Amino acid sequence: MNEPPSEPSSAVPIARRSRQLRVRGLASVLPYLGPAFVASVAYIDPGNYATNIESGARFGYTLLWVIFAANLAAMLIQSLSAKLGIATGRNLAEVCRERFPRPVVWGMWVVAELVAMATDLAEFLGAALGFALLFHFPLFIGGLLTGVATFAILALERYGHRPIEAVITTFVGIIAGCYVVETVLEQPDWGAIASHAVIPRFAGPESVLLATGILGATVMPHVIYLHSALTQHRIVPRTSEEARRIFRFEVLDVVLAMGIAGLVNAAMLIMAASTFHSRGLAHVGTIEEAHRTLEPLLGPLASTAFAVSLLASGLSSSTVGTMAGQVVMQGFLHRTIPVWLRRGITMLPALIVIALGLDPTRTLVISQVVLSFGIPFALIPLIRFTADHRLMGALANHRLTTLVASVLAALIVALNLFLLWTTFAGGGV
């Protein structure tokens, strides 16, 4: 049985000096940044591409406010996950193992593994599609290259979490940079964007259903587990005041990272709205169609930027998915398998899907349905544990925080149940 690295790094002495107010400015903040950027990748994964493109192409800027509302919810949830790791020195799966009966723990592990595998399938396919669109490779070759690339990134874990955090943060920067280029080329209607970003509105029953899909996919169960693991050993507080100070920095980490993720999601929808919807191309509903249509409308730079961002999204989110799978097994079962073996196992379903010639965008949608099943199993325990004063000490939730998180959890679970019902009842899968 293997335990995850405890993460002592060169950042730790700097962080300790900052806690003692001997380091100020940017130097006092940098040691704490990173975990949320890793988690944020799950919110800009290939599954988001499909949803955001369809939303923008069909309904223009109408659902832009939904993205910003969902992003605020994600900030709260990921902050709670980070706080659990800081306060307890354990990740969410470990706390579940300690607090729940063994049959419940095994059941939660099975659900978490299925969710992690479904998510990784979508993300792996996204990266393979990115390789195929960018370099005109067959999709299967793109899948093999994705496997090689993620193996290389995961190999950095032997040096601790900081190198991986740096790589993932770089990918986030690439994605954001690509959408800056897209936005400049599009020249969108900023007045309409500002209005739709803050004023809730719909455009008929179909837009309500799509909004439900955006909101219902706000929570990514696997990164709730992962985020708590990334903070649990990072910088261990010695006093209650140190714990509060560390958490304040982690909140900053979450706001920065999730803020960027929210802006990227908004940029995806804006791109589809200003490029496709404005030209009456509401039928553009897949990633491949979006890439194919961008070049004649905005030029080769736009289509290249789109493919590069998709590749960066797929590689980073697939890496994060594998890391989350390791945390889930270690936490629930107190055991791990070699990361290369997990990566190899999770590659197989994606390669089979590609070899069978199944539609990648369709597969992404189905994977999101599977993901919905795992949301209550991660979100409800997280809120319960972070509200426990005996467990959390000085970092226990305020009553208002617990109330808001509980209402949000109920809403998200209800939306996902509705989404599942409409998907199956309507023959969507």
SS (H, E, C) 332-376: HHCCCCCHHHHHHHHHHHHHHHHHCCCCHHHHHHHHHHHHHHCHH
Per the structure, the complete domain to which residue 49 belongs is given by 11-425
Positive/negative CA dihedral, 75, 177, 157, 236: negative
Position 14 scores a pLDDT of 44
Do the domain assignments include residue 3? Answer: no
Residue 7 is predicted with a pLDDT of 43
pLDDT at 12 over 50: no
Q: Where residue 422 falls among pLDDT bands split at 50, 70, 90? A: confident
- Nearest CA-CA partner of 288 in 359, 183, 353: 359
Percent of the chain with pLDDT over 70: 89
Quick check: is 401 in a domain?
yes
**Residue 17 CB contacts under 8 Å (≥ 6 apart), including other chains:** 23, 28
Residue at 80: amino acid letter = L
Range with the poorest average pLDDT among 58-72, 126-140, 408-422: 408-422
Q: What is the pLDDT of residue 65?
A: 94
Q: What is the pLDDT of residue 285?
A: 66
Q: Is the pLDDT of residue 221 over 60?
A: yes
Residue 399: exposed, middle, or buried by beta-carbon count in 10 A (0-12, 13-18, 19+)? exposed
Q: Is a pLDDT exceeding 60 seen at residue 38?
A: yes
Average pLDDT over residues 65-74: 92
What distance lies between CA 247 and its chain's CA centroid? 20
Residue 166: inside a domain, yes or no?
Answer: yes
What's 100's DSSP letter?
S
Q: What is the mean pLDDT of residues 199-228?
A: 83
Instruction: For residues 248 and 82, give the distance between their C-alpha atoms in angstroms, rounded to a whole number.
Output: 11
Place of tokens 């599942």: 420
SS3 132: helix
Q: Is the pLDDT of residue 21 over 50?
A: no
pLDDT class for 330, splitting at 50, 70, 90?
A: very high
Give pTM, 2 decimals.
0.87
Phi-psi region of 34 (alpha: psi -120 to 50; beta: other; left: phi over 0): left
Eight-state DSSP code of residue 5: P
pLDDT at position 8: 40
For the cut 80, the answer to whether the pLDDT of residue 10 exceeds it is no
How many structural domains compose the chain? 1
Average confidence (pLDDT) over 241-259: 93
pLDDT at 9 over 50: no
Average pLDDT over residues 74-95: 95
Residue, of 356 and 308, whose pLDDT is higher: 308
CATH number of the domain to which 350 belongs: 1.20.1740.10
% residues pLDDT > 90 (the chain)? 48
Query: Given a cut of 80, is residue 198 above it in pLDDT?
Result: yes
pLDDT at 23: 53
In a domain, 5, yes or no: no
Of 54-68, 131-145, 206-220, 236-250, least confident by mean pLDDT is 206-220
pLDDT over 80 (residue 25): no
**In 10 A of CB 400, how many CB atoms?**
8
Q: If you compute the radius of gyration of the chain from its CA atoms, what whole number of angstroms results?
A: 21
pLDDT at 20 > cutoff 70: no
Residue 319 has pLDDT above 50, yes or no: yes
More confident: 114 or 315: 315
Q: Taking 60 as the threshold, does the pLDDT of residue 401 lie above it?
A: yes
**Domain-located, residue 63:** yes
Q: What would the mean pLDDT of 60-85 be, rounded to a whole number? A: 94
What is the average pLDDT value for the chain, to the nearest integer? Answer: 85
The conformation of residue 68, written as its DSSP 8-state character, comes to H
Q: Indicate if the pLDDT at residue 303 is higher than 70.
A: yes
Residue 55 to residues 275, 284, 287, 310, 381, Cα–Cα distance (Å): 12, 10, 12, 17, 32
Name every residue whose Cβ is closer than 8 Å to that of residue 57 and which is 6 or more positions away in sequence: 272, 273, 276, 277, 281, 282, 283, 284, 285, 290
Return the number of other C-beta atoms located less than 10 Å from residue 158's C-beta.
9
| Cα–Cα distance for residue pair 197/214, rounded to 1 Å | 14
Q: Collect all residues with Cβ–Cβ distance below 8 Å to 261 and sequence separation of at least 6.
A: 40, 41, 43, 44, 71, 74, 172
**Residue 34, phi then psi, degrees to nearest 5:** 145, -55
Collapsing DSSP states into helix, strand and coil, what is residue 23? coil
Give the sign of the dihedral formed by CA 130, CA 136, CA 140, CA 141.
negative
> Is residue 2 in some structural domain?
no
Residue 1 lies in a domain: no
Residue showing tokens 């940098």: 30
Highest mean pLDDT among 86-100, 198-212, 282-296: 86-100
17 in a domain, yes or no?
A: yes
CA atoms within 13 A on the CB side of 247: 28
CB 58 within 8 A of CB 206: yes
